[in-house]
Amino acid sequence: MPDKKSIKKSFIFQSTFEELEKLDKCLNSVKGYEELSEDKQYEIMLVLSEAVNNAMVHGNELDSSKRVTLDITTSPEGLTAEIYDEGAGFIPSELVHPLDQQAMLRDHGRGWFLMQHYSSSIEWDNAQKCLRISF
């Protein structure tokens, strides 16, 4: 449960690429986001656009009747995002590293790598079917 200094905002996206265009406006409505450096805002936008896109494509299989929920909590410690979709979940350890030889020429599969690089932490919570990312 968030403490009294934490602020949580929730956003709902239908599983269409057009919905992803709302993410920038959503982030700019989060208290404290506009105070971050331009570089940090870019990193957060990159990571969350990848996470929400993955939830739409892989979790919900671009079924526009299915939703992706993005919960953002800000606190003195930083920003945490939780992404929920209506899919079955996944096993991060089974993802192929994008720098492995068999993955080098694929046109997908770099998202998890990018999200790990630009976030402080990222974890899949299988019990809650939630991707949790901290900055």
Q: In this predicted structure, what is the pLDDT of residue 102?
A: 65
**Token pair recorded at residue 119:** 């976030």
Query: pLDDT for 31-51, tens place per residue?
Result: 999 999 999 999 999 999 999
Confidence (pTM)? 0.85
Q: How confident is the model at residue 95 (pLDDT cuts 50, 70, 90)?
A: low
Evaluate if residue 6 carries a pLDDT over 60. yes
Helix/strand/coil (H/E/C) assignment for every residue in 76-122: CCEEEEEEECCCCCCCHHHCCCCCCHHHCCCCCCCHHHHHHHHCCEE
pLDDT value of position 78: 93
pLDDT band at 53 (very low <50, low <70, confident <90, very high): very high
Higher pLDDT, 97 or 131: 131
Mean pLDDT confidence for 64-77: 96
Q: How many alpha carbons fall within 13 Å on the CB side of residue 83? A: 28
Domains and CATH numbers, the chain: 7-134 (3.30.565.10)
Tokens of 12: 């709902």
